[in-house]
Chains A and B, each alone.
Chain A
């Protein structure tokens, strides 16, 4: 066994990480090798020191008033203001809400938008015109401008006074 590989195997053996078959072989090697036994002893000694130090640290720590201090801190923490709550809400849900709103706007635009309708044309074709007796009929158009085309007008003038109501 090389030293490096030995040390890794010994460390894993010491930590109980080896499979049973491999652990059995390493144990046999340790029993036959005084140097390996010495290294295992050193590892056990180090583990004992670490455990002892940890136990001492825990003994010295005072956990008696820990929960009381935590609870007091929670109770005395001022409630979040409207702005903070709104900011928190926006950070958490803002992207989702914005995306959903945009999608809804697109759907509404597609479904609800009126079909493009050009302005109506008032240009009529008069196929026949009959005016009553004592009346004169005139057909003319008013010129349009821009989008509006021309507008057809029928003007009927009664020559008798009976037209006045």
Chain B
């Protein structure tokens, strides 16, 4: 029996694993998208760019808004234990800290994050919340009044 060189066997095994395993890259960063949405009672419908949230936004209490527009979407790249911030349309500052990654059953990835939304240099509104959510999951924070409507902030994070 002819023995193949070890590097050939190792290369074939690596190629096989690359083809059959899920494409999951394990890094220490998470990429977060901060979407500022504006809920209004005037008719207008749900912004097409929010299609991935259409089912949720069509249910109470968001169904009270006949119009939900995407005002802006900002990207934050968060190294572990580093805080990044973004200014919201209301003038408040959103600060987000990526704390750690958690593996649940069936290797489902969850992310632990710390979030605050406050006026600059103040501790009003939402000075801090610690939460965990599935990779690519979206947390909605709403209630801030803005231009005859309500600001809804969607925070979506995924590992990079």
Interface residues of A (CB under 8 A from B): 110-111, 114-117, 120-135, 137, 142-145, 148, 151-158, 162-165
Contact = CB atoms under 8 A, between A and B. Distances in A.
B120 interface: no
Contacts, number: 125
Q: Which 10 A-B pairs have CB atoms at the shortest separation, nearest pair first?
A: A120-B136, A132-B124, A124-B133, A121-B134, A115-B22, A156-B143, A165-B90, A115-B23, A127-B130, A153-B140
Given A142-B56, A145-B55, A130 B126 contact: yes
A122 B145 contact: no
Nearest to B158: A120
A31 B54 CA distance: 113
A133 B144 CA distance: 14
Interface in B122-160: 122-147, 156
A135 B59 contact: no
A127 B135 CA distance: 17
A145 B55 CA distance: 8
Given A126-B131, A153-B142, A156-B141, A132 B56 contact: no
6 contacts: A120-B156, A124-B133, A124-B139, A153-B141, A165-B89, A165-B145
Interface in B51-69: 55-56, 59-62
B131 A132 contact: no
Interface of B: 19, 22-24, 55-56, 59-62, 89-92, 112, 117-118, 122-147, 156
A48 B136 CA distance: 99
Contacts of B131: 124-127, 152
B92 to A, nearest CB: 8
Nearest to A150: B56
B137 A127 contact: no
B139 A152 contact: yes
A154 B23 CA distance: 32
A158 B19 contact: no
A28 B68 CA distance: 118
A77 B39 CA distance: 76
Nearest to A164: B145
B55 A144 contact: yes
B125 A122 contact: no
A142 B156 CA distance: 17
Contacts of B112: 127
A140 to B, nearest CB: 8
Nearest to A151: B56
A82 B122 CA distance: 78
A131 B60 CA distance: 23
A130 B133 contact: no
Given A111-B19, A142-B59, A156 B137 contact: no
A156 B122 CA distance: 16
Contact of A137 (B55, B124, B126): B126
Given A124-B137, A142-B59, A155-B61, A129 B144 contact: no
